[in-house]
Structures are given as C-alpha cells and as structure tokens.
Amino acid sequence: MAEIDTSSGGGHKKGPGVKKSKKLSTRVDLTPMVDLGFLLITFFVFTTTMSTPTAMNMNEPKDNDPKDQKDVKQSGAMTILLGKGNQVYYYYGILDPAKLSEQFKSTGFKEIRQLITDKKKATPINDLMYIIKSDSLSTFKNSIDILDEMSISAVPPGHYAEVDISTVEKTLIQKTEETNGIK
C-alpha cells in the first residue's frame, strides 16, 4: 500500500550504456507515525471527557408570601455562616447574647462536613434545619461548596435554606476575624 513498485518489471530493457542504478527501498517505517497517532488519540480522549461541565440544580424559595415562611425548632437548627478567607462559622439554635463566645464557633470547610453529619444524626429529621448565611465578603465558591456539602451529607431538600445575614452576626464575624487575624 505505502510502497511504490520500484522493480522494473521486465518488459523494458535497458541499453548496454545505461548504468544500473542501485535500487533503494521506498519502504518507510511507519511505527513512529502509528505511535504518534495513538498518542494523539489518547490525548483527545482524555481531554474531552475530563472537562465536561455539570450543572447543579438550584431551587429558590418564594419569599414574598409570609404564609410560606416556616418556623424552625431551636433544637434542630444549625446556622452556618460563611465569611471571608474560606472561613466557616456556626452555631446551634438561636444566638444568646450572654453566651456568644461559647456558642459562636469558627471552623473550616474541611471540618464542616463532620459537623453537618453529626447534627443530622443527633436531630430527628423533621426538626432538622440548616440555615446558611453568607457574609458579603464570602465568595461564590463558598456558597456553592456549602450547598454541595448539603448534598454530600444527603440533607433532604427543604431542610436547608439560605437566609440573609443579620447585623449581629456580621459584627460577630468581624470580631472573630480580627482576633483570628484573617485577611
């Protein structure tokens, strides 16, 4: 297929004065080309399947109607706050002004999964509620990560919600950031 017929086949006779030239094979070693071909195939196969983007569903509540607002039991509530520098803060129940320092704890994204599962195990499923509040300096990644943590910990939909942060919580985050030296 890839070689050209170089044998002079017989029919044509050369004259006595014509020098016989040395016949070189036109056979080319295709092995490196095959190697290259397969290398490129492997490259394309890997790069294309790895980078397929996925879509995460996002459901927002209708918050115009006060009837749709849900009361949450204090014992089943865990509030997760997202601050700057990938910091996570949390507290259980409602904030008690007298015991702020005990209640308000700081943690990170690595530890929060354990805390979420612990809370889930300790609470009857009907009372369970995670309240997620994002500070204005937290990033988009943080809010997606925490929602992802909810699905990783298999928290059923309707048992977590994003709520606007209050000024008390904002100042608490600021104070904690100052003491912990987070920029």
Partner 1 sequence: MPKVKIPRKSTNVDMTAMCDVAFLLLTFFILATKQKPPEVLAVNTPASVSSIAAPDKSIMITMTAEGKVFLALGDDTKKGDIIERFNKSKGLGLTPAELAKLKRSEFIGLPANKIKSAMESSQVIPPDQMEGIPVKDSASNELVDWIRSVTDAYAGGDQKDLEKMLLVKGDNNALYPVFKQIKMAFKKNQIFKFRIVTNSKDVPKGSELAREAAAKNN
Residues that bind partner 1 (CB under 8 A): 1-2, 27, 29-31, 33-34, 37-38, 40-41, 44-45, 48, 51-63, 82, 113, 117, 120, 134-145, 147-148, 151-154
Here the tokens at position 119 are: 């809370």
Closest-CA residue to 180 (of 89, 52, 109): 89
Sorted by sequence, the CB contacts under 8 Å of residue 159 that are 6+ apart come out as 125, 128, 129, 130
| Shortest separation between residue 146's beta carbon and partner 1, angstroms | 11
| Shortest separation between residue 151's beta carbon and partner 1, angstroms | 6
CB 160 within 8 A of CB 130: yes
Question: SS3 of 161, please?
Answer: strand
Q: In terms of CB distance, is 22 or 62 closer to partner 1?
A: 62
CA dihedral 174, 142, 80, 146 (to 10 degrees): -170
Q: In terms of CB distance, is 133 or 176 closer to partner 1?
A: 133
| Shortest separation between residue 11's beta carbon and partner 1, angstroms | 27
Q: In terms of CB distance, is 90 or 119 closer to partner 1?
A: 119
Q: In terms of CB distance, is 147 or 182 closer to partner 1?
A: 147
Q: In terms of CB distance, is 31 or 69 closer to partner 1?
A: 31
Rounded Cα distance between 157 and 59, Å, is: 9
| Shortest separation between residue 104's beta carbon and partner 1, angstroms | 20
Sequence letter at residue 74: Q
81 has which bridge partners?
A: 89, 133
| Shortest separation between residue 17's beta carbon and partner 1, angstroms | 35
